[in-house]
Amino acid sequence: MHLPRSLSILFLLVSALFLSTSAEAQSDPDTSAAILRVQFTDHLQRAGLPGAVWTLVTPDAGIVTGAAGLSNAQTGEAMTSTTRVHVGSVAKTVLAMGVLRLVTTGQLSLDTEVASVLPALRFDNPWQATDPIRIRHLLAHTAGLENFRFYQVFSLRAQADTPLDKALGRDSLTVHTRPGARYVYSSTGYHLLGMVIEAVTHRRYEAWLDTELLRPLGMNDSSFAFSTQAGANADPRLAMGHFEERVAYPAIPVFARPATQFVTTAADMGRIARFLMGDGTIAGRPFIASNLMDALSGARGTDAERTGLQGGHGLALSVRDRHGVIGDCHPGTTIGFQAMLCLYPKEGKAFFVAANADVENADYERLNTLLIEALQLTPAKERDTASPPPADIHAWEGMYVPAWHAVTRLAWIDTVFNPVDVRWDGKRLQLAPFQGKPASLQPAGGMLFKADARAAPSHVLLTTDGERMLSDGLRTYRQVPLTSLLWLWTSAALGAAGLLTILFRGGWLLMRGRLRRSSTLALPLAGVLMLFAPIPFFFTQSFMQLGDLTIASGLLAFASIALPCAIAYGLLRLPACARSLAHPAFDCAALLAVAQWLIVLAAWGMLPFLMWR
């Protein structure tokens, strides 16, 4: 269809005017800020998020802050750029700078053995003789420690002043990988760093960091001290945290607080972002050694880095290749909040954003994209990585499972439900995870591969302790025989089928009055029914009590002990009851199916299931 000449001219004039206005908006900071606020407001409404604050750091404009939405969805109070927020694990980056300050002043070194500073702790480290856990390992998440335990994060028993050693329990700390070899994200590691600060300074870590780190950096609106929105000591400037449907949830103390407890403002995060991109000086005076500043991001010494994969986590930040740019970032999640800090040192630019809601399916990445676009960062030059694959590429095909588990007690679940199928299709390495989106990797030279939409190689194939591994620098999977997974899947399927058989057959016999107390299925049926007993109590208690000894968790623990006992009793009764049973082989098969599954779960540490330990 062709427009009349007059309409065509009008259309061109309007288009030119629009483009001119858009260009002026990009060059006018006030207009750009207004446009960004409109974009944020629109996305917050679409995503079901109450509000957000953000910071843009540039060489020209300095620190520019903004806010949109609501600070409290219940009261309708607006979010402002001076509102304080929780930032979750972004606290780790700030705490790391405190540790590096101690290194700079000679009170610690990166190679200091943690056991020498915290002699009361016991480490179960098979590599102790050659590779003890050092301060650098805790900072870079390469100590091999698990992320957390239920009670360290989900508990209502913690107090704001609970001694840090109370969060570790009495068990020794198990080291799952050789220290320094592999990135294993660990909040436990940063909890230990809080203890290290207290041991070296002889002060509570919160007070020392507030006075010796935050104040020199000019972060006067920030604190590591506990801050909440409710109660007699409520902070009126602190945004309320929210969950789905904008349900408000005030902050509560947690045992593992050094890894996640930190309140701040958009302006203060701009100040530390600018410091992180500098040379480590404050007002011309050295504050953190320049060699430590150079190591804030990017893995050093890990198996993946030695194999050629650039990136990974440094002493405070990890390399993030997203949206066409490569930066040094750290995300954060805590009760009712999600946050992100990203730096682009070569351009002297950075952003910080925090949303006061933790909503499972919300698109938080869109907030990062809007800020990256506002910074007008130069797109990273995509490297021409096309090259032939390794000669033995077919040997790397197969099933891969997580090489580490955030919660060791849940390792069986992680292994069974999170494997990745790796296949070479003749041109690319195809990754098909059981959960998540598939990925297609292009050979990038040697053992390196690059995912689509990445500017640099993103994955590497490597061999560690005789095992084939696939790593992206932050997550590592190990190759396992398909037969081992088939066994675990079959075991689980048979166990579930056995439980259902006991439930329905035992229930049918019970309703017909044919299930006597001495029957082979009587106690097993009671054991299966016990599994349902905790469910109503879990719905009536706070999710923050998952790690506490409550009626719900106590019943679950009792059921996880009672069921194996009931199954064993049923098997013992089977010979005596065989003559009176209509289908003894059927009952025997069901009991054996459940028994083998319980043995597997016990071997993986899931039985008995004690959530408070």
Backbone angles phi, psi at 254, to 5 degrees: -130, 160
Q: Under DSSP, is residue 307 helix (H, G, I), strand (E, B) or coil?
A: coil
What pLDDT is stored for residue 175 in this prediction? 96
Q: Does the CA dihedral 242-248-250-256 come out positive or negative?
A: negative
Which residue type does 155 have?
S
Closest-CA residue to 393 (of 433, 422, 432, 431):
422
Closest-CA residue to 370 (of 32, 23, 49):
32
Beta carbons within 10 angstroms of residue 41's beta carbon: 15
Task: Dump pLDDT digits (tens) for 235-274.
Answer: 999 999 999 999 999 999 999 999 999 999 999 999 999 9
What pLDDT is stored for residue 581 in this prediction? 58
**Whole-angstrom distance, CA of residue 405 vs CA of residue 425:** 29
Q: What single string gives the DSSP state of each residue in 162-189?
A: --GGGGS-SSPEEP-S-TTTS----HHH
**Mean pLDDT, all residues of the chain:** 91
Strands (E), 250-313: 263-264, 281-282, 285-286
What pLDDT is stored for residue 587 in this prediction? 83
Is the separation of the CB atoms in 276 and 155 below 8 Å?
Answer: no
C-alpha distance from residue 470 to each of 93, 413, 425 (Å): 27, 20, 17
Report the alpha-carbon angle 375-379-383, nearest 5: 155
Backbone angles phi, psi at 479, to 5 degrees: -75, 135
Tell whether the model's pLDDT for residue 319 goes beyond 90: yes
Tell whether the model's pLDDT for residue 32 goes beyond 90: no
Q: CB under 8 Å to 216, separation ≥6 — which residues?
A: 282, 287
**Whole-angstrom distance, CA of residue 84 vs CA of residue 219:** 12
Q: Which domains does the chain have, with CATH numbers?
A: 85-375 (3.40.710.10), 393-480 (2.40.128), 487-603 (no CATH)
What pLDDT is stored for residue 4 in this prediction? 42
Tell whether the model's pLDDT for residue 20 goes beyond 60: no
Sheet hosting strand 349-355, strand order edge to edge: 77-78, 62-72, 51-58, 349-355, 337-344, 325-334, 318-322
Task: Dump pLDDT digits (tens) for 269-294.
Answer: 999 999 999 999 999 999 999 999 99
Tell whether the model's pLDDT for residue 313 goes beyond 80: yes
Is the separation of the CB atoms in 359 and 49 below 8 Å?
Answer: yes
Task: Dump pLDDT digits (tens) for 38-55.
Answer: 999 999 999 999 999 999
Q: What single string gives the DSSP state of each residue in 519-568?
A: STTHHHHHHHHHTTTTHHHHHHS-GGGTTS--HHHHHHHHHHHHHHHHHH
Closest-CA residue to 341 (of 85, 598, 19):
85
Closest-CA residue to 257 (of 485, 86, 67, 431):
86
Confidence grade of residue 3 (pLDDT, cut at 50, 70, 90): very low
Q: Under DSSP, is residue 351 helix (H, G, I), strand (E, B) or coil?
A: strand
Report the alpha-carbon angle 58-63-65, nearest 5: 120
What pLDDT is stored for residue 15 in this prediction? 37
Is the separation of the CB atoms in 145 and 188 below 8 Å?
Answer: yes
Closest-CA residue to 593 (of 512, 499, 521, 510):
499
Is the separation of the CB atoms in 303 and 478 below 8 Å?
Answer: no
Tell whether the model's pLDDT for residue 380 goes beyond 50: yes
Closest-CA residue to 356 (of 84, 39, 154, 95):
84
What pLDDT is stored for residue 267 in this prediction? 98
